[in-house]
Structure 1
Amino acid sequence: MVELADVLTDLRLEGESLEALVTPLDDAGWHRPTPAPGWTIAHQVAHLAWTDERALQAVTDPTGFLADLADIDPARFVDEGAAAGARRTPRALLAAWRDTRARLAEALATTPKATFPWYGPPMNGTSMATARIMETWAHGEDVAEALGVARRPTARLRHIAHLGVRTWSFGFAVRGLEPPAGQPRVELTAPDGDLWTWGPDDSSERVTGPALDFCLLVTQRRHRSDLALRAEGAVADRWLDIAQAFAGPPGAGRPPAGGAHLPGAGGPLASGAVAPDRSGVDA
């Protein structure tokens, strides 16, 4: 069983990893565009700071969070939050994000058994911290891509992969589709060569491949055709076309960078299924 303290340690390390990328940047660097249309590096960090603030409110003031939730415009509030934060100076933005994520970690550590409201299903402390790791890593990928930096994958990917597996039925449900019965077997190769597994080992529905690629898929940072993931079975194949490990509606997705869609390695997106350019407000 994963301990909350361990997840919070990995959340801190993930935040520090991204902070190390952006701290040396000058003003021009902070305004460099990222793969998310209209978002600069400042927008990416501002979004993380904004979402950490919302998570902190959900943990410390759930009644206020729910009241604010009733007043939001779902089509605009993510972009508006990022834009507002991006107008701050880089120093002020970075300091605010550092302070908020520290206060969130402290709040989660002192309420380990509580359940908190969110933009998707309610979450406990471990789930909330795992979601923050996922989003920090995903937006960190956007920043790294903007800077032309290849980040070395770490064992922290296991949290993201676990969330991607846990939410396997969500990709169906968010599109108004009935989730199939039975969870596929998932076997992923970790950065150190170990094998990470989920689901029944005798399932005829299987997903295999690198853990990094699976994490890029479920955070929708890469198109499926550009990843070395393989699906066996119709359910597993369909899932990989619509997988998302975050709350909110599906969006426009990332276009393929190249490479053919091979039989058994995925097919075209299901009719009406789209994937987000940004991971938005993650579950």
Structure 2
Amino acid sequence: MADPTPVLDDLRAESEELDRLVAELSPDQWSLATPAPRWTVAHQIAHLAWTDHAALLAVTDAEAFGKEVEKALAAPDRFVDEGAEEGAARPPDRILADWRTGREALQEALRAAPAGVRFPWYGPPMAAASMASARLMETWAHAQDVADALGAVRTPTDRLRHVARIGVRARDYAFGVRGLTPPAEEFRVELLAPSGELWTYGPEDAPQRVGGPALDFCLLVTRRAHRADLAVTAEGEDAGRWLDVAQAFAGPPGEGRPPQGGGPSREGRPAEGDVR
């Protein structure tokens, strides 16, 4: 059984990095539009607080969480946006305080969870390590939206391994959510980590292959950048199709980001000034 401690430590570090980005913002900056349509910086942080609260309910009160699932099923196209709208209507200091309190409560609950227990979620039930990985992935992705709104450049870290792993494991889901039949064979995925380490997934001799910088792959599977602007490559028709539909999160794929036309930069990052 996976020990959740390392990913919980990484989740805390990822959250603290975003916290430092928003902690000193002015009210006007909290109102800045992000690349996500109709979402401001306030929406982004409010959404993280809202989802942390839902995760805490899943871990500590399955009955209460079940009622949240019923709400989601009753309004699948509005549920997420309505939660973000409600949260973003509060003053920025309240949004920030609620996010800090909620994410710490979730940390404590996941660290105290008995080994092997799986918790209900909007998709399949998840163990503590998987839930922490999912929270890290979402925190990293929303932090990218905030950074883009502020014109800030983030330094990638090897915490991206959690995002990349979810993206790889979600391959078949990405096809299925679009009504497509997933490929039958495994792919080989080779990603260059920020540290210079090579992260590999799948059979070494697989004919269908994907490769590139881990940062670019993570931007792709969180749909924070268009494939045309990233240095992620594919060998094989099915691998190429995957890069067009890849996503690491559950639910509809959303609008995604339009191509910016600049192509990938030399460092494998989206070119300077891109809006994702």
> Contact (CA 8 Å) 2:71, 2:79: kept in 1 or not?
no
Q: Does 1:202 align with 2:212?
A: no
Structure 2 stretches lacking a partner, 5+ long: 265-275
The match for 1:101 is 103
Return the match for 2:116 from 113, 117, 135: 113
Distance apart, 1:92 and its partner CA = 1.0
Shift of 1:259: 4.2
Partner AA of 2:234 in structure 1:
A
Deviation of 1:67 (Å): 2.6
* 1:127 corresponding residue in structure 2: 130
Question: 1:193: how far off?
Answer: 1.2
1:204-219 residue pairs with structure 2 within 5 A? 204-219=207-222
Q: Which amino acid aligns with 1:76?
A: R
Q: CA deviation at 1:121?
A: 1.8
What corresponds to 2:235 in structure 1?
A: 232
Q: Which of 231, 242, 247 is the aligned partner of 1:244?
A: 247
Quote the Cα distance in structure 2 between the aligned partners of 1:209 and 1:3: 29
- The DSSP-based 3-state class of the residue aligned with 2:234 is strand
- Equivalent position of 1:159 in the other structure: 162
Is the Cα contact below 8 Å between 2:137 and 2:162 reproduced in 1? yes
TM-score of the pair, normalised by structure 2: 0.92
Aligned partner of 2:48 in structure 1 is 48
> How is 1:23-62 mapped onto 2 (pairs within 5 angstroms)?
23-62=23-62
Indicate conservation of the 8 Å contact 1:119/1:248, yes or no: no
- List alignment gaps of at least 5 residues for structure 1: 262-277, 279-283
1:249-264 matched pairs, under 5 angstroms: 249-259=252-262
1:215 aligned counterpart, secondary structure: helix
Q: Deviations over 1:181-216 (max 9, x none)?
A: 122100000101111101110100100000000000
Question: Would you say the 8 A contact 1:41–1:143 is kept in 2?
Answer: yes
Cα distance in 2 between the residues matched to 1:260 and 1:125 = 38
- Are the counterparts in 2 of residues 53 and 100 from structure 1 also a CA contact under 8 Å? yes
Deviation digits for residues 66-94 of structure 1 (CA, Å, limit 9, x no counterpart): 23212331111111111111111111111
Give the secondary-structure state (helix, strand or coil) at the position aligned to 2:185.
Answer: coil
Aligned identity (percent) is 60
Per-residue deviation, residues 122-154 of structure 1 (Å, max 9, x unmatched): 211111000000000000000000110110000
Tell me the secondary structure at the aligned position of residue 179 of structure 2. coil
Matching residue of 2:13: 13
Which residue does the alignment assign to 2:93?
A: 91
The two structures, once aligned, show a CA RMSD in angstroms of 1.6
Q: Give the number of equivalent residue pairs.
A: 263
Runs of 4+ in 1 over 4 A off after TM superposition: none
Q: Distance in 1 between matches of 2:36 and 2:207?
A: 36
Higher deviation after alignment, 104-113 or 183-192: 104-113
Q: Could you tell me how far apart the structure 2 residues matched to 1:147 and 1:253 are?
A: 19
TM-score (normalizing by structure 1): 0.90
Contact 1:86 1:93 in 2 (8 A): yes
Farther-moved stretch of structure 1 (245-254 vs 221-230): 245-254
